[in-house]
Amino acid sequence: MTVARYPSYTAGGAEWLGDVPSHWRLLRLRFVAEFNPSKSEVASLPKETEVSFVPMEAVGDDGSLDLSRLRAIGDVETGYTYFRNGDVTFAKITPCFENGKGAIMRGLAEGIGFGTTELIVARPRRDRTVSDYLHWLFTSPAFRKLGEAAMYGAGGQKRVPDDFVKNFRIAFPPLPEQRAIAAFLDRETGKIDALVEEQRRLIELLKEKRQAVISHAVTRGLDPNAKMKDSGVEWLGAVPESWNVGALKHFVIPRAGAIKTGPFGSQLTSTEMEAGEIKVYNQRNVIDDDFDGGENFITEKKFAALSSFETFPGDLLVTTRGTIGRAAILPESAAKGILHPCLLRVQPDRSKLDTKFLAILIQDSDLIRTQIDLMSNATTIEVIYSGTMASLIVPLPPVADQVRIVEFLSEMNQSTARLKSEAEAAIALLQERRSALIAAAVTGKIDVRGLAPAESEAA
């Protein structure tokens, strides 16, 4: 869309603002809105009057509001922020401010609301501005960026100062033009938001399709004409005739420790992992599939005492606590090391079980999660032990078929990742376009008066 500029401009008085349309008035926000109006306006109402209650989680990043909560005025008039229909609000605390939390208050019970003290309330002066335009101004990139720079406090308690908002200086167009700009932005950002939502739905569909393809491949194989047999496992159903089904312990190296969790309790304390020459591979190594980094090490002496926990290239390492079921294969280049207490080692018998196929079963299919849920009687399980892992039922095609399934899923994952990346790039471009459009409209870099819906002109 090509949008014309205004016929004439004058200096805006600030580098970030640039030139502004000549007929716009440079004003500080305190001259166009009343901030944080007094609760005395509702002092005469009965204390049992139910009004809207708006905590921070009820305010969306997209200007939406959840008005499902009601409270009696007597319960909220102290300790909460007051507002009424038509007021414009935005969050002042990090990260809610940066994320764009804010809304025009509309549809409040009795026209009145109370909410979190982390909201700044602006009530438009009717002869200077309108709610819709003021909301777009608060949404604009410049306001957000400058507000973020002005924040005070530390860490997660940083806030935008009230004085920054009141003294924020920007050019205001005449009221009819404000309405035209607000209507234009409502329409154009609505189109962009719809396109963004399409891309997000595409990403979700890609995720669902990927999961379905993986689940089918590891339980039914790649041959649609394969003869099937009953697996003997109710939740698994039928599998191809040539497949084996059994506990994982039957498909690992036939020796003690082929499935082993890391040392626990006093065997290896956190202080003993602070210095030394031998690496302790931890969850982060597995989750990131990066075995070069790490901050846990033990001495040679400690390693000698814990040598049964040594990891070897080709081992499948699995996370067992917190983030459960992430898996990665220890590469040939990995340094000598042992298991962290939060990891488990599986050493497959490669004549029966391809390690990459097992990694897919554990990390990418629903098979392991289903069994863990069944074992835990639908309660939340927070730790996987070696005995649990050894007893997990796995469906196994012949090794050659396992390799083909791994190759097929690898190609599918690459295609899915490419499509997801393209969708994410499209979202980023659309969001950049949205921000640029808002910035251009509220600073007068484009003249949208002839592009706004007709009803905005009559408003």
CATH number of 26-172: 3.90.220.20
Domain 244-396 has CATH 3.30.365.10: no
Report the pLDDT value the prediction gives residue 452, as an integer from 0 to 100: 61
Report the pLDDT value the prediction gives residue 456, as an integer from 0 to 100: 46
Can you give the pLDDT of all 459 residues of the chain as single tens digits? 678 999 999 999 899 999 999 999 999 999 999 999 999 999 999 999 999 999 999 999 999 999 999 999 999 999 999 999 999 999 999 999 999 999 999 999 999 999 999 999 999 999 999 999 999 999 999 999 999 999 999 877 899 999 999 999 999 999 999 999 999 999 999 999 999 999 999 999 999 999 999 999 999 999 999 999 999 998 899 999 999 999 999 999 998 899 999 998 889 998 899 889 999 999 999 999 999 988 899 999 999 999 999 999 999 999 988 788 899 999 999 999 999 999 999 999 999 999 999 999 999 988 877 787 676 544 455 678 899 899 999 999 999 999 999 999 999 999 999 999 999 999 999 999 999 999 999 999 999 988 866 544 434
Q: Do the domains spanning 26-172 and 244-396 agree at the CATH topology level? A: yes
Contacts 24+ apart (CB under 8 A), 368-374: 368/325, 368/392, 369/325, 370/235, 371/235, 372/324, 372/325, 374/235
Domain residue limits, the chain:
1-24+173-201+401-459, 26-172, 244-396
